[in-house]
A and B are shown apart, each in its own frame.
Chain A
């Protein structure tokens, strides 16, 4: 893998640099801890490398040189044979998917991961034991072979299950990735042909029209009004014009190159393919993304930690008792079999499967809430998130321009910017508004696409740019059918908006049949519009535009601009009927109509407004101790305005600049500590050392990064991770993918996101909504709590399963519970209840506590293990032993007669073993009694596991506070436990191999007092925890 990657790099890099880079890849972590200069070098290198990879000079060449370089003809295109040769040489024009782990390797990994290795050891020990027995006695019983096979079966089954789960969750994602095969219009053999884009080769002449994706890196030869959306590559959201002129040294900046996977928005372009497949710019970035290591997810670390603890306990108890058994003069072979029993009793075979199911249940639940989780473990990662680096556009905002404010009659009015615009409350009675609304309606080229009669206005598709769309929808909502109004006011002539004029103008007939005047309406940049006006309309009357009114205009303009909004000015003029009769012919080139001394009507400002759910979500994040950082390519003022309106910068906090402005002192004199918020631009970030960045990240609670490039996102993410934070990053562009990969949890946007971003992310937000992340966080935290409960529940019975072996070895009782019976608990009765805990509701508001510290707050901590093993587990063991002793005593073997009975009991030649009452038992009769004992012990554990399940519903609150019946699934779990137990005992009691017998009904109730005791004890524990928070009890008993 590594070898392969460095090959990709070396395509463009010099030899020495290549070595440096590979080194860095290997020692990334080491470098991080080293001195700053080293880090800076790394940062610099990264940028340099990125530039280096773009060594293209095709944009500097002229057409003739290009034809020569690529051996093609601009008019005739390549010949088919030549194209086929090139295709054979360069391979198809598609990105090599990241190397997948082969399925078989994935499968085998499941087979040896986690506890499987312990069970393999157990199985092999079984077979070895049989081998030894067989070599000394040909008629040795096959029990050990069966047990070994059962263990292997368990490993394989759990492995297959885990593999299946993983494959299923990967499938969800891969279905998402499927793309429709792209077509390209290419000139070959002087003919225009449509071929799959994959078959393009360098030198091909392709034609691309508006709406298509650019099929490869192409050098523009000719274009007509072509604009491309490069946002996925560079993060610029503005459409970029493309033409054949060479305008910039940097291939990324020059106008005559279009990049693979970007979109042509409008116009047409003809160009020559200069790079295909992995050699395109995107291809390079994609390989850069795969170079960024994926960090292990927190839950994976936790599970590993847990497996280590349990395996450690299993192995050390096993070996300890092996030694004890050997020194007690047991045969080594018997001691080996004890060892297997201890391992099996200690390993919660079903747990890892349960965890997987629990996670995928939550993943499903999250998918319902629009978070599609690609990697199951990411579910919990989201819960431990402590910093969210969020995009602005589309995530925090609605991603559409919307009218936010109006200014007329010397007053600013607020428009409703919520998703449906339903609540427009500003004063619409003024006749100024009547005039303004007319201008808004008429001076607008945008139109609804036909056939959307039943679509709500805000959701209708529109032909036209963002601002015009905003105005169209705004007027449609307030005035009703805009098209009808336009029809009544027939358009005579118009001048569309262009960047030199900075205004748009149209002349209409009026809808008043008695008024023969023409109405000229105009909108544009406010200062330009004001220049053209001599009067201003106030309360429907024209007033001369004097200095004071001009001043109020400027204040309003500055205020709206300061909110980060795009402001437009509107004016009109009724052309006098005598000068401009109905038959007058307007000529836009000659401009035979007045464009000055107009009447100023009002201002209107637009913004991409925040989604209405976001402010709430940000508040929730804040109370949950999660820092929300906005990273955007937008202008700082807009960024700040949005940050303020969604609460990323809270109402009462100021930036250094704000303080300076308020106190009227230079920025340098402001005490940095006074400011809570910071706005950092990409330019500032570029000049910052890593320490300075760390300082900013650590010291400011509220940070906005504006005008940043997607590459800088990676630096910000790394900075956050240096603070030991679990970082969630949202992104949509291709260039975000390194940051998405680097983040602990990368969140891609489902609607706006590019495929590369979705590929690199761990999670996809289907509705692009920030609020969905917060829901995800909540689910993630809940699942962490519930996993704790599941694990505590599962670990408890391990002691009850282990004690029998220890007692068996030390006190020589007939074996209380068999290995196979243990497997029936671990993989039978306990599975559904432990999954049921995943449905448990949160105990308290989990969004009001700090995110968990990934190194301190473990999933399985000491109190959890101690409480499960040494408190509840022990009580359970005692309860189960009570049932066991009862069965033996009532059949004639009183407890004291059992001690040290093991050797005689298990001797096949003793067929007249005398019990307490003088009766004599054959070996098989004893064995049957032993199985009844297994069943009794099993039932004892089962009954107490029901109590265990109920107490695990909460960790702090009383069960009665939580509600005994709120989680119905728990009861399903309990029912399943009982039903499986009944089936095993009464249904399969006659199947000898399973070692179950039909148990008398009353034995089911023997352990009930112990079960009740467990419940009472746990209630007392919780009561003291609630009564004395922070006390010795709390510290030792709260898990």
Chain B
């Protein structure tokens, strides 16, 4: 059971994005009122606006601004860049360029820090041109070529993708990827053991779709994972926020619905429970999904 309460951020216009610092103590919001605000909270202390920066009209261009907070805050205008000198954050150089051949709508790093898997990026596309079929691609860093190369394409996702999120991986043997398209989809990507594949090439994955929910009954705009990668929150055009969680049997189900204004959805909290568990009924799409089709 989740309860929501309102927080005074005092934005004059639409808030586009919210982002937390590593400790969850500070939060940054960016809005169409062309400002970025920083809020701070402590235990038992409500969120308070401590800083507001007029970020200029260009801010509203960016639908999804990533705000990094390191004492001062600065913006990452491009994801694939890295500051060569940590003391001089104004200079960034392009490190990698990855061609996706589609217009990209969203991107997600795999937050896994394990040395066992190389850095991964998932890219979603909302390309509406008819020859763009698969809308989700996964790129992986190749140590040998020192480049990002395409590792997988999720062939079943053919509708425009609005958001994509890798779940934090604290030690699972597979990765979980949530996709916001016309419904919420959750995929697992299990790396096929290196010994079994020819070395050097990109990692092969066994891809399973473990859940697919159309409870939003409309386009899904955002997906976000909690710190352990065990609860997924999604928001859709129905103006609701839904929470998804897997039970011990690895069946995903809805554990909470809240309206965008924080009020609970009246009288249908059980609605989510009655319609879920598609996960168990569509387990093995991976053969068509996965070119490698490594069998379990």
Partners in one complex: no
Interface, chain B (partner A; CB < 8 A): none
